[in-house]
Structure 1
Amino acid sequence: MEDRVTNPPTTKVIETANWILRDGDKILSVRSHGRDRFYLPGGKVDPGETARDAIIREVAEELGVTLLDDSIRKIGTFAGRGHNQPDGAIVRMTCFSADYRGTLAPAHEIAELRWLNQRERDLMAPMGQKITAALFDI
């Protein structure tokens, strides 16, 4: 009889850094070209990069503004099933608040930015809905 070792399927975890910018009862959200849902600004953390470095880079690339280094504060890390991710990949989102310098404008892969209020959360991807629900309850 042959011994066989089976390995359970490995769940892919995608590390992201995301910016939470509120204006009263609204939160800044972005929609990428070809996507149907809004996301919190930010993106994947590159190998060898910290989440803090990633959020600075991603916000500059996506929205053309500079986060003010001394104002960057970690809000928390949230994890859940990613929207449009293959095989049930988990997205682990490290979220930051920060002040910025410059004028917000969609750039590169961003087609649109929008300030969404609590009643418009359904326009966001599921993880954005989960995070903003927690934030609006604060």
Structure 2
Amino acid sequence: MIDKIAWLHLRDGRILSTRSRGKSVFYLPGGKREAGESDAETLIREIREELTVEITPSSIAPAGIFEAQADGHTTGIVVRMTCYTAEFAGTLTASSEIDEVAWLGYEDRGRVSAVDKIIFDHLRETGLLR
């Protein structure tokens, strides 16, 4: 099991997504926790590292837990994505580890990872993603 934390940041029916250097698919911003980190600490650190903005800790709210086959791993390796919404301060800017930042709609579902596809479906069903 790969344990990851992700930020769901939606605007005008689209979701913020990133494509890391050397990757062909988009992933929701976030990543793996470091030893001893809470979900909130992981979210704050990962978003700062990837998008150079500061998550507002008091605004962090749970948005669901999703699981799927992990991209690029042998069959049976599952990624568990614990998702949160949160407000932020600063200007969204791709860090050196991010090749591209995009606002994706449901029509872009084929461009994202397996677990992100499940999240896209959930957001579409709840009317948050167009």
Normalised-by-shorter TM-score class: over 0.9
How many residue pairs match? The answer is 126
Give me the whole-angstrom Cα distance separating, in 2, the residues matched to 1:42 and 1:102. 17
Give the counterpart of 1:72 among 56, 60, 63: 60
Matched, 1:38 2:39: no
Residue 124 of structure 1 corresponds to which residue in structure 2? 112
Unaligned runs of 5+ in 2: none
User: Identity of paired residues, percent?
Assistant: 37
Relative to the length of structure 1, the TM-score reads 0.87
Give me the whole-angstrom Cα distance separating, in 2, the residues matched to 1:31 and 1:85. 18
Residue 112 of structure 1 corresponds to which residue in structure 2? 100
| Structure with max Cα Rg | 1
Matches within 5 A, 1:17-56: 17-56=5-44
Unaligned runs of 5+ in 1: 1-12
**Structure 1 consecutive aligned stretches of length 4 or more whose deviation exceeds 4 Å:** none
Relative to the length of structure 2, the TM-score reads 0.93
Give me the whole-angstrom Cα distance separating, in 2, the residues matched to 1:122 and 1:61. 26
Tell me by how many angstroms 1:88 deviates: 3.1
